[in-house]
Amino acid sequence: MKYNIITTQLQIYESFLKTGLIARGLDKKIIEIKLFNLHDFALNRHRSIDDNPYGGGAGMILRVDVMDRAIEKLKTQNSKLKTILLTPQGNIFKQKDAQRLAKQKELILIAGRFEGYDERIRDLADEEISIGDYILTNGDLAAMVLIDAISRQIPSFIEKSESIKNESFNPITLNAKRSTLLEYPQYTRPFDYRDKQVPEILLSGDHQKIKTWREKQAIQRTQKRRPDLTETEKTV
C-alpha cells in the first residue's frame, strides 16, 4: 500500500514515520508513505496556497487551483487513483472502512489546514472522511489515524494475523446474523490483584468453553456500552 499525503506540515510526520509498527511496515516495504508539500504546487513566487473567503469571514481558505494542481501531479501515472478528503463534514471513519480501503494499492490523502477548503475542492475527491465529530487544527492527525487503521488490515503488517480477528468492531456471525461487537475482556498475570481475580474459565484449558464465554462477554459488553453496533441483517 502506498499513501500519498498532500499536507502543509511535513514536520508533523517525523516521529510517526519512525515509531512502532509504522516504522516496521516502512522498513519491510509493506507500506510506503510519500509526503507532498502543498506549497510546492503554488502558482506564484510567494508560494501562496490560501486566500481570504469571498463574502468575508474569519480565517483563510485553501485554494482549489493549487489543490487541483497537486492532485493532477500525483495522478500522472494513474488517473483513477482514489483520493480522500479529510474533513469533519465527511462520513465517520469506521473499521469496515479501514478494511475496505486496505484493498487499495495506493491512496491520496488530503490533509487540510486553516479555516477550510474552497468548496470546489470537494469535487476533486472521490470520498470525504471524518474521524469524529470534533474539530482539529489540521487534517494531518486524521491522516495518521487512517494510515494506522488501514495498515493494520494489510497482510503481514501485523505479524500475528490472528490477533486482529477478534478485535472490537470486526463483524462476526452469531445465530445466523451479522453482528459487530466490542472485544471480550482480556486478562494476564497476576491472577489475583486487589481482590479482583481472573475468571476461572480462562484457566480451565477447555478451548470451546472459553470461546463460548468470550462470545457471551463480547455480546454483553456491546449491549451495555455500544448497543448501536448490533446489526440485524441475516447472512446469506
User: What is the pLDDT confidence band of residue 166, given thresholds at 50, 70 and 90?
Assistant: low
Instruction: Kindly state whether residues 133 and 189 are assigned to the same domain.
Output: no
Give the integer Cα–Cα distance in Å for 174 and 196: 30
The CATH number linked to 122 is 3.40.1280.10
Instruction: Kindly state whether residues 146 and 177 are assigned to the same domain.
Output: no
Q: Mark which of 126, 151, 176 sits at the end of a domain.
A: 151
State the Cα torsion 18-23-29-30 to the nearest 10°. -140
Instruction: Kindly state whether residues 214 and 131 are assigned to the same domain.
Output: no
**Single-letter amino acid, residue 104:** Q
pLDDT tens digits along 92-101: 999 999 999 9
The burial of 89, by beta-carbon neighbours within 10 Å (0-12 exposed, 13-18 middle, 19 or more buried), is given as exposed
Instruction: Kindly state whether residues 147 and 170 are assigned to the same domain.
Output: no
Q: Report the pLDDT value the prediction gives residue 221, as an integer from 0 to 100.
A: 94
Q: Report the pLDDT value the prediction gives residue 162, as an integer from 0 to 100.
A: 63
Give the integer Cα–Cα distance in Å for 106 and 42: 24
Q: Report the pLDDT value the prediction gives residue 236, as an integer from 0 to 100.
A: 35
Q: Report the pLDDT value the prediction gives residue 216, as an integer from 0 to 100.
A: 95
Q: Report the pLDDT value the prediction gives residue 235, as an integer from 0 to 100.
A: 40
Q: What is the mean pLDDT of the chain?
A: 91
Q: Mark which of 151, 182, 216 sits at the end of a domain.
A: 151
* Residue partners of 23: CB distance under 8 A and separation at least 6: 17
Is residue 161 situated within a structural domain?
no
Q: 39 to each of 119, 133, 157, 227, 233, how far by Cα in Å?
A: 19, 28, 32, 45, 47
pLDDT > 90: percent of the chain: 83
Q: Report the pLDDT value the prediction gives residue 115, as an integer from 0 to 100.
A: 84
Give the integer Cα–Cα distance in Å for 143 and 131: 9
Q: 15 to each of 24, 71, 88, 146, 150, how far by Cα in Å?
A: 13, 26, 25, 16, 19
Instruction: Kindly state whether residues 146 and 170 are assigned to the same domain.
Output: no
pLDDT tens digits along 97-120: 999 999 999 999 999 988 899 999
Range of the domain at 145: 2-151
Q: By the 8 A CB rule, do 34 and 5 touch? A: yes
Instruction: Kindly state whether residues 22 and 128 are assigned to the same domain.
Output: yes
Residue 174: strand pairing partners? 177
Instruction: Kindly state whether residues 33 and 139 are assigned to the same domain.
Output: yes
Instruction: Kindly state whether residues 216 and 180 are assigned to the same domain.
Output: yes
Instruction: Kindly state whether residues 7 and 119 are assigned to the same domain.
Output: yes
Q: Mark which of 120, 151, 182 sits at the end of a domain.
A: 151
The CATH number linked to 178 is 1.10.1270.20
Q: Report the pLDDT value the prediction gives residue 234, as an integer from 0 to 100.
A: 42
| Average pLDDT of span 3-7 | 98
Q: Report the pLDDT value the prediction gives residue 189, as an integer from 0 to 100.
A: 95
What global pTM score does this model have? 0.87
